[in-house]
Amino acid sequence: MTPREEADLILAVDVGGTALAGGLVDQNGAIITSQAVATDRFGRGEGILKNLLELVASLEDETRRLQLPVRGLGVGVPGAVEGGTGRIGPDIQNIPELGNLPLRDVLQERTGLQVVVDNDVNALTLAEWTFGQGKGLRHLAMIAAGTGVGGGLILNGELVRGASGYAGEVGHITVELDGRPCFCGSRGCVKAYASGPDLVAQVRELLQGERSSIWTELTGGDLGRIDPSVVFRAADRGDAVAEAVVAKAAQALGAGVAALINLCNPEMIILGGGVMEAGEILMEPVRRWARFYAFERAFSRTRLVRSGLSKQSGVLGAAALFLYEERRRDTA
Ligand SMILES: [Zn+2]
């Protein structure tokens, strides 16, 4: 085995519902170059795999141009992944074509690289732990609210995956016993109140086609254009429907945070993802509800912060994932 150089690069790919984001990342978390292609979500699995392989090949070309050696490939995907085998589970939201695919083996075989595949929020949690606000902590948890609501857990300095990769799925903790249905087959999950698409769906249900001036103004008259950022803007301006939906989302997230605190007693919980970009309008009530639902003594030892990583945190996460597994292999 050749010794690892400071300058060695990690190929990192974040598989999303609409785009594959790739980058070359050094071991300090600097993204040397990045690129993105469409996921091809309406194609079949082979289409997505083809795009993924082309993206990896293009990143490899870039390393040859830079004349820098590659250590391996890290990939984050939006679903549970079996830790031992790198096989994607059946519950992969938005990209069902990748369900049950042994992605690690496929990529390893096709690229000849050392490959690590894991859940994208596990990857984000490792990015926060390796390069971000969670650096050096023993107990860290993350909740990422975006298209879905994912979670990641680091306890005693180790990523917790569980028996089949489902550990840390905070978004699917039940917070309302007979609540809104969720894609996972359950009801009343945190996700069913706090994900981006669920925020929008709840607004639509409450509006029931009624038009009020604020929604007309914010969407240019086309209610089809309501997205999470519009919901938060309407709430900020005092619209009762938006306020009710945001309040419910915050309560659900706060209950999820409290469940994490009571279950794992982490030193820090980081909230990230597109929905959290709303900022204090969401963070403040989440903090309030978390305090309400959790043990006061546990809550007081948990720093609750918003992610400070860039928009490219998914790519950074995929690289952190590879570094984490490489370190584990080295010490095994
Ligand atoms: Zn669910």
**CB-facing half-sphere around the CA of 260: CA atoms within 13 A:** 36
Radius of gyration of the CA atoms of the chain, in A: 20
CA distance 286 to 252: 8
Instruction: Report the alpha-carbon distance of residue 223 to residue 64 in Å, rounded.
Output: 49
Q: Does 83 share its domain with 207?
A: no
Residues 142 and 58 in one domain: no
For residue 216, being part of any structural domain is answered with yes
* Nearest of 199, 198, 201, 226 to residue 212 by alpha carbon: 226
Q: For residues 317 and 209, what is the distance between their CA atoms, to the nearest angstrom?
A: 40
Average pLDDT score over residue span 325-331: 90
Residue 186, both tokens: 């359950």
Beta bridge partners of 141: 153, 269
Domain check: are 164 and 295 in the same one? yes
Alpha-carbon span 106 to 104, nearest angstrom: 5
Helices first, then strands: H and E counts in the chain: 11, 12
Q: Is residue 213 part of a domain?
A: yes
Token pair in block for residue 54: 């082309």
114 and 161 share one domain: no
Which three-class secondary structure state does DSSP give residue 93?
Answer: coil
- Residues 302, 202: one domain? yes
Tokens of 46: 């082979």
Same domain, 79 and 92: yes
Residue (of 125, 153, 139) closest to 268 by Cα position: 139
- H or E stretch including 223? none
Span 149-172, pLDDT tens digits:
999 999 999 999 999 889 999 999
Examine the pLDDT at 7 and tell me if it is beyond 70: no
Predicted confidence (pLDDT) per residue in 169-208, tens digit = 999 999 999 999 999 999 999 999 999 999 999 999 999 8
* φ, ψ of residue 75 in degrees (nearest 5): -135, 130
Residue 323 within a domain: yes
Give the CATH number for residue 112: 3.30.420.40
More confident residue, 21 or 40: 21
Let me know whether 34 and 55 are in one domain.
yes
- Residue 129 counted as domain residue: no
Q: How far is the CA of 255 from the centre of ligand 1 (A)?
A: 14
CA of 215 to the centre of ligand 1 (A): 29
| Number of independent structural domains in the chain | 2
Q: Based on the domain organization, do 31 and 54 belong to the same domain?
A: yes
> For the residues of 17-70, what is the DSSP string, one character each?
SSEEEEEEE-TTS-EEEEEEEE--TTS-HHHHHHHHHHHHHHHHHHHHHHT--E
Q: Within a domain: residue 126? A: no
Residues 302 and 325 in one domain: no
Domain-embedded: residue 222: yes
**Burial letters 105-137, b for 16+ CB under 10 A, else e:** ebbbeebebbbbbbbbbbbbbbbbbbbbbbeeb
Q: Can you give the pTM of this predicted structure?
A: 0.93
- Cα 64 to averaged position of ligand 1 atoms, centre (Å): 43
Q: Which of 14, 40, 118, 120 is catalytic?
A: 120
Percentage of residues in the chain having pLDDT higher than 90:
79
In the reported structure, the alpha carbon of residue 330 is separated from the centroid of ligand 1 by a whole-number distance in angstroms of 36
- How far from chain centre, in Å, is Cα 173? 16
| 209, two tokens | 């086609």
Same domain, 173 and 39: no
Distance in Å, CA 176 to ligand 1 centroid: 11
Rounded distance, CA 12 to CA 196, Å? 25
For the chain, what is the mean pLDDT?
92
Same domain for 86 and 227: no
What single string gives the DSSP state of each residue in 125-163? HHHHHHTSTTTT-SSEEEEEESSSEEEEEEETTEE--TT
The answer to the question of residue 131 being in a domain is: no
Structural domain of residue 280, as residue ranges?
136-306
CA dihedral 309, 310, 314, 315 (to 10 degrees): -110
Over residues 114-142, the pLDDT tens digits come to 999 999 999 999 999 999 999 999 999 99
Active site residue 120: yes
Indicate whether 258 and 220 sit together in one domain.
yes
